[in-house]
């Protein structure tokens, strides 16, 4: 057995010697019982000049030099096995048993090979032998099985500071509609085919805002009607979702908007559903994991069980329902650890559209709740509604505000628009708007301007 191991060690060294690589099995020396019976020096002479060279190097060099013959793969493969034996380094070294003496010098003992410490070992055979000679501990009846280490669960990511608000130092300019090149009667977004056309369309609005909000460029936002209210005989919850229509929202809108540093708002008209259910759907779709995606809820089209048509009569939502949806969004955003807070926008043009609004939460750490004064009409009426819903003294619990404008739409023939339209100084409270002989100013100024 020792002779076989000695030849195995010799062969391993030969394979590591540069230039010793037989090109064909017939070129390699034949392995015979006679060869295996000779000492390592005789084996080398039988293997030819490369064998003699390898044996001389192996015998004359210390084992630590032999490490240079090991490839990087062998070194890395043995590292974990060798490290486990370093604790035995203090044990006495074993001296290898001398092999048979050479026929040429019977009186000269063959060189003794001293076992090398594990940290310098290259060949696997001596290491394996050393491991086998160590006594094995007998199992104890009281021994307990060592538990396997369990992977550490990753803790949720929480922001170390309050995330930034998208509205802190600028105005959001949102372009509202179902989608690009879709139903322009619902909003100006449908009049554009792509982002390039939309960017050209928003320029007059952007200039008007910048001239009246203190000189800050607005942040452009794609405002999609994600869940559109439809007659209740079509779907169970009276809603038709944009992604159910085959639109790839991430690829078509979110990714390109992020490249331009724009936002995307997914507007949900509720139908026979409720805010928390719709919020959960949007979260589960994965849209809100993107920092530039926000949510809007429109209670106008909240539909009771007896209503066949959403919006007739105008629907309502309670502050408790909105708080539940906001808390869900807040918890989700806390796990994401995004740079900005999420926006939860709510449309309103009548007081009863949001019941108990004074209890609406504005203290959510990761969510900005925005109330948007909706509805079309002349400047005085719009300014009056804004004052009643969001003006001083009636909206102390509201921190973020918005206003929705309805410019002339050539595709809309029912007269649902602002005639005449508000001027930009009126939109930002720098000029009053008359309603019934009384002047109303849009104050505090809006943080969001929606163009329908």
Please, what sign has the CA dihedral across residues 415, 420, 425, 429? negative
315 Rama class: left (phi>0) / alpha (psi -120 to 50) / beta: beta
For 270-291, how does the pLDDT look when each residue is reduced to its tens digit (9 = 90+)? Answer: 999 999 999 999 999 999 999 9
Question: Rounded CA gap, 315 and 301, in Å?
Answer: 5
Residue 341 near residue 165, CB atoms below 8 Å: yes
What pTM was estimated for this model as a whole? Answer: 0.66
Taking residues 260-277, report their average pLDDT: 98
Provide the pLDDT for residue 161: 66
For 390-423, how does the pLDDT look when each residue is reduced to its tens digit (9 = 90+)? Answer: 999 887 779 999 999 999 999 998 889 999 999 9
Where would I find the H helices in 155-263?
195-201, 203-210, 249, 255-259
Question: Rounded CA gap, 28 and 20, in Å?
Answer: 10
Judged on CB neighbours under 10 Å (0-12, 13-18, 19+), 106 is: exposed
Residue 253 has pLDDT above 50, yes or no: yes
For 60-83, how does the pLDDT look when each residue is reduced to its tens digit (9 = 90+)? Answer: 444 333 333 333 344 344 444 434
CB within 8 Å of 280: residues ≥ 6 apart: 328
Range 158-183 burial, b when 16+ CB lie within 10 A, else e? ebeeebebbbeebbbbbbbbbbbebe
For 350-373, how does the pLDDT look when each residue is reduced to its tens digit (9 = 90+)? Answer: 999 999 999 999 999 999 999 999
Strand locations in 163-313, DSSP E? Answer: 172-177, 219-229, 239-241, 263-268, 293-297
pLDDT, mean over the chain: 77
Provide the pLDDT for residue 124: 36
Question: Rounded CA gap, 243 and 330, in Å?
Answer: 24
Pick the range with the lowest mean pLDDT from 75-89, 194-208, 327-341. Answer: 75-89
Provide the pLDDT for residue 145: 55
Provide the pLDDT for residue 147: 53
Nearest to 369 by CA among 316, 315, 427, 325: 325
Rounded CA Rg of the chain: 40
Provide the pLDDT for residue 397: 72
Residue 297 near residue 270, CB atoms below 8 Å: yes
Nearest to 348 by CA among 313, 312, 374: 374
Distance, C-alpha 442 to centroid of its chain:
40
Pick the range with the lowest mean pLDDT from 153-167, 178-192, 421-435. Answer: 153-167
Residue 137 has pLDDT above 70, yes or no: no
Residue 388 near residue 442, CB atoms below 8 Å: no
Taking residues 321-334, report their average pLDDT: 98
Question: Rounded CA gap, 411 and 126, in Å?
Answer: 89
């Amino acid at each position: 057995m020792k002779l076989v191991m000695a030849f195995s060690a010799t062969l391993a060294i030969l394979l590591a010697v540069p230039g010793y690589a037989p090109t064909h099995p017939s070129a390699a020396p034949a392995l015979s019982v006679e060869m295996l019976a000779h000492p390592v020096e005789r084996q080398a002479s039988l293997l030819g000049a490369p064998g003699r060279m390898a044996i001389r190097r192996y015998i004359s060099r210390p084992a630590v030099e032999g490490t240079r013959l090991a490839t990087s793969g062998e070194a890395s493969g043995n590292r974990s096995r060798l490290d486990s034996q370093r604790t035995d380094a203090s044990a006495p070294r074993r001296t290898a048993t001398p092999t048979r003496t050479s026929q040429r010098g019977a009186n000269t003992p063959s060189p003794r090979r001293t076992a090398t410490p594990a940290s310098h070992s290259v060949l696997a055979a001596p290491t394996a032998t050393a491991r086998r000679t160590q006594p094995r501990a007998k199992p104890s009846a009281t021994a307990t099985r060592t538990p396997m280490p369990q992977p550490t669960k990753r803790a949720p990511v929480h922001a170390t500071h309050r995330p930034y608000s998208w509205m802190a130092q600028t105005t959001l300019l949102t372009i509202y509609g179902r989608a690009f090149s879709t139903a322009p009667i619902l909003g100006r977004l449908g009049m554009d085919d792509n982002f390039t056309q939309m960017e050209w369309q928003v320029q007059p609005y952007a200039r008007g805002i910048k001239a009246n909000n203190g000189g800050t460029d607005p942040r452009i936002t794609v405002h999609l009607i994600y869940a559109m209210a439809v007659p209740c005989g079509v779907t169970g919850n009276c809603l038709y979702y944009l992604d159910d229509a085959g639109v790839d929202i991430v690829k078509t809108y979110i990714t390109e908007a992020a490249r331009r540093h724009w936002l995307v708002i997914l507007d949900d008209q509720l139908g026979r559903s409720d805010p928390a259910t719709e919020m959960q759907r949007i979260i589960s779709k994965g849209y809100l994991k993107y920092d530039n995606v926000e949510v809007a809820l429109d209670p106008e089209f909240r539909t009771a069980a007896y209503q066949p048509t959403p919006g007739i009569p105008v629907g309502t939502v309670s502050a408790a329902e909105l708080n539940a949806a906001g808390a869900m969004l807040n918890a989700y955003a806390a796990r994401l650890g995004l740079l900005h807070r999420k926006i939860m926008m709510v449309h309103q043009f009548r007081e009863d559209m949001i019941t108990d609004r004074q209890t609406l939460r504005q203290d959510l750490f990761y969510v900005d709740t925005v109330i948007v004064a909706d509805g079309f009409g002349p400047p005085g009426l719009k300014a009056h509604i804004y004052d009643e819903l969001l003006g001083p003294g009636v909206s102390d619990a509201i921190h973020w505000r918005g206003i929705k404008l309805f410019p002339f739409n050539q595709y809309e023939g029912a007269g649902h628009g602002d005639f005449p339209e508000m001027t930009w100084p009126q939109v930002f409270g720098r000029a009053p708007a008359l309603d019934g002989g009384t002047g109303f100013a849009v104050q505090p100024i809006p943080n969001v301007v929606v163009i329908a």
